[in-house]
């Protein structure tokens, strides 16, 4: 069940005023400086303001600073820990609307007991405005990835509203990605997500890739994994997909007007403030790492994912694309509906794991 919307919590969505006209995405250099600038007491204050019992991490390598009473539990084959990482607005002042991101980002880490061969930063879906760490698309999926040997950081990013708009959510995912790249320098780090979370993951990967292009000393993600993503405000028409989805219940459809409304809420009316990933120039998309896409079968958003795959190939990015047969959008968030649903969801996780092993090489 979805959790109550926590977007108004002051420590989670600090809506302070920036310098006039400041809307730039959170810079990776600023995130690096943040780790050095924030004291442990300041970070523990974030946890207190959030009112959660969570481990708070600060630092780059070595033993991290921890808040007392961290929420950590051992389960079969893994250790699960609730964390709070400093977000893009920890040392900056978001404007109105907040396009910068969160002062602190709740994260759930899934650590395989037998050790990991790679790390995955993962973002759930929810049309940019719903979802949380307890959704199956976040928790169930992360557990399956961890069972396969991946360390997972599931991100509770800023949800879109009139007060919070793009690229705030992507900046939150990017802050966690940047932290993970620094913290786990000895193993591959990938980023991915489902539906709208896939869009945020793609934007975070693009930001990291741009930083690496500007400074080769920066690490970028080894791979981008996308589950039935939406990447375009306006999709190209696809009569074949429309024919397949025509018989679906209205709640499972994404007609053009619903997609437009979704992006209007998430991106707002200022076209210059944030550009959907699918509308980026080929020269930018060429910076992205090898990408793995799994689409739902009867899904209007499949047209966006397939178009994006073509854009990536044209830009020279290696892409692996597949369809999970007989599925509709959001099936990874409903794995317990039936035995077939569970099998489809597990098969999808298996596809991602196999491709990540292939991309990361013998070390994976």
Residues 301/238, Cβ–Cβ less than 8 Å? no
Per residue in 130-172, pLDDT (tens digit) is 999 999 999 999 999 999 999 999 999 999 999 999 999 999 9
Per residue in 189-220, pLDDT (tens digit) is 999 999 999 999 999 999 999 999 999 999 99
Question: What CATH homologous superfamily does 74-360 map to?
Answer: Alpha/Beta hydrolase fold, catalytic domain (3.40.50.1820)
Q: Would the pLDDT of 43 be above 60?
A: no
Closest among 147, 156, 170 to 76, alpha carbons compared: 147
Q: What is the pLDDT of residue 273?
A: 82
Residues 243-263, mean pLDDT to the nearest whole number: 96
Q: Would the pLDDT of 39 be above 70?
A: no
Q: What is the pLDDT of residue 50?
A: 38
Residues 75-96, mean pLDDT to the nearest whole number: 94
Cβ within 8 Å of residue 211, ≥6 positions away: 28, 29, 218, 220
Closest among 211, 220, 221 to 190, alpha carbons compared: 221
CA torsion sign, 145 to 147 to 153 to 159?
positive
Q: Would the pLDDT of 362 be above 80?
A: no
User: Residue 64: pLDDT band by 50, 70, 90 thresholds?
Assistant: very low
pTM reported for the whole predicted model? 0.85
Mean of the per-residue pLDDT values of the chain: 84
Report percent pLDDT > 90 for the chain.
76
Per residue in 330-344, pLDDT (tens digit) is 999 999 999 999 999
Q: What is the pLDDT of residue 321?
A: 98
Query: How is the chain split into domains, by residue range?
Result: 74-360
Q: What is the pLDDT of residue 246?
A: 96
Q: State the Cα–Cα distance between residues 85 and 105, nearest whole angstrom.
A: 5
Residues 50-76, mean pLDDT to the nearest whole number: 49
Bridge partners (DSSP) of residue 274 are none
Cβ within 8 Å of residue 188, ≥6 positions away: 117, 118, 119, 222, 223, 356, 359, 360, 363, 364
CB-CB neighbours of 309 under 10 Å:
20
Residue 74 gets which letter from DSSP? E
Q: What is the pLDDT of residue 45?
A: 40
């Amino acid at each position: 069940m979805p959790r109550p919307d926590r977007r108004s919590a002051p420590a989670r969505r600090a809506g302070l005023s920036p310098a006039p006209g400041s809307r730039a995405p959170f810079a990776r250099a600023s995130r690096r400086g943040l780790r050095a600038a924030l004291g442990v007491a300041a970070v523990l204050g974030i946890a207190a303001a959030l009112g959660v019992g969570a481990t708070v991490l600060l630092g780059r390598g070595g033993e991290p600073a921890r808040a007392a009473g961290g929420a950590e539990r051992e389960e079969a084959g893994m250790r699960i820990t609730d964390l709070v990482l400093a977000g893009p607005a920890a040392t900056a002042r978001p404007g109105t609307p907040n396009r910068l991101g969160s002062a602190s980002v709740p994260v759930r880490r899934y650590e395989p007991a037998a050790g990991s061969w790679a790390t995955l930063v993962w973002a759930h879906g929810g049309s940019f405005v719903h979802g949380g760490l307890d959704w199956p698309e976040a928790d169930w999926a992360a557990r399956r990835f961890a069972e396969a040997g991946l360390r997972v950081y599931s991100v509770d990013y800023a949800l879109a509203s009139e007060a919070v708009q793009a690229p705030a959510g992507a900046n939150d995912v990017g802050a966690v990605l940047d932290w993970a790249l620094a913290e786990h320098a000895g193993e591959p780090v990938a980023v991915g997500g489902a539906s709208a979370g896939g869009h945020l993951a793609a934007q975070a990967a693009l930001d990291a890739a741009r930083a690496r292009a500007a400074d080769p000393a920066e690490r970028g993600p080894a791979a981008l994994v996308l589950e039935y993503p939406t990447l375009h405000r306006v999709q190209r028409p696809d009569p074949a997909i429309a024919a397949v989805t025509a018989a679906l219940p209205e709640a499972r459809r994404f007609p053009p007007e619903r997609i437009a409304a979704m992006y209007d809420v998430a991106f707002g009316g200022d076209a210059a403030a944030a550009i959907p990933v699918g509308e980026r120039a080929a020269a930018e998309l060429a910076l992205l790492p090898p990408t793995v896409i799994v689409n739902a079968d009867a899904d209007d958003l499949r047209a966006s994912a397939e178009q994006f795959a073509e854009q990536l190939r044209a830009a020279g990015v290696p892409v692996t694309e597949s369809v999970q047969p007989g599925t509709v959008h959001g099936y990874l968030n409903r794995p317990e509906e039936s035995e077939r649903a569970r099998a489809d969801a597990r098969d999808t996780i298996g596809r991602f794991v196999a491709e990540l092993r292939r991309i990361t090489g013998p070390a994976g």
